[in-house]
A and B are shown apart, each in its own frame.
Chain A
Amino acid sequence: GEDVEQSLFLSVREGDSSVINCTYTDSSSTYLYWYKQEPGAGLQLLTYIFSNMDMKQDQRLTVLLNKKDKHLSLRIADTQTGDSAIYFCAESLNYGGSQGNLIFGKGTKLSVKP
Chain B
Amino acid sequence: EPEVTQTPSHQVTQMGQEVILRCVPISNHLYFYWYRQILGQKVEFLVSFYNNEISEKSEIFDDQFSVERPDGSNFTLKIRSTKLEDSAMYFCASSGGLSDQPQHFGDGTRLSIL
Contacts and interface: CB of A to CB of B under 8 A. Distances in A.
| Contact-residue size bin, chain B (C-beta under 8 Å from the other chain) | 20 to 34
DSSP class of B's interface residues: helix, strand, loop or mixed?
A: strand
Contact of A102 (B98, B103, B107, B108): B103
B41 interface: yes
Contact of B31 (A90, A94, A99, A106): A99
B99 A102 contact: no
A35 B91 CA distance: 13
Contacts of A100: 48, 56
Best-buried of B58, B103, B107, B108 by chain A (most CB within 10 Å): B103
Contacts, number: 67
B102 A104 contact: no
A59 interface: no
Interface stretch (A9-17, A37-45, A71-79): A37-45
Contacts of B106: 42
Given A43-B43, A88-B43, A31 B107 contact: no
A42 B108 contact: yes
Contacts of B98: 97-99
B65 interface: no
A86 to B, nearest CB: 10
Interface string B24-43: 00000001010100000111
Best-buried of A99, A100, A103, A104 by chain B (most CB within 10 Å): A99
Best-buried of A33, A101, A102, A104 by chain B (most CB within 10 Å): A101
Contacts of A43: 43, 91, 93, 105, 108
B31 A98 contact: yes
Nearest to A90: B43
Contacts of B56: 100-101
A99 B99 contact: yes
12 contacts: A42-B105, A43-B43, A43-B91, A43-B105, A45-B105, A50-B100, A97-B98, A99-B31, A99-B101, A101-B33, A101-B45, A104-B42
Interface of A: 30-31, 33, 35, 41-45, 48, 50, 88, 90, 92, 94, 97-107
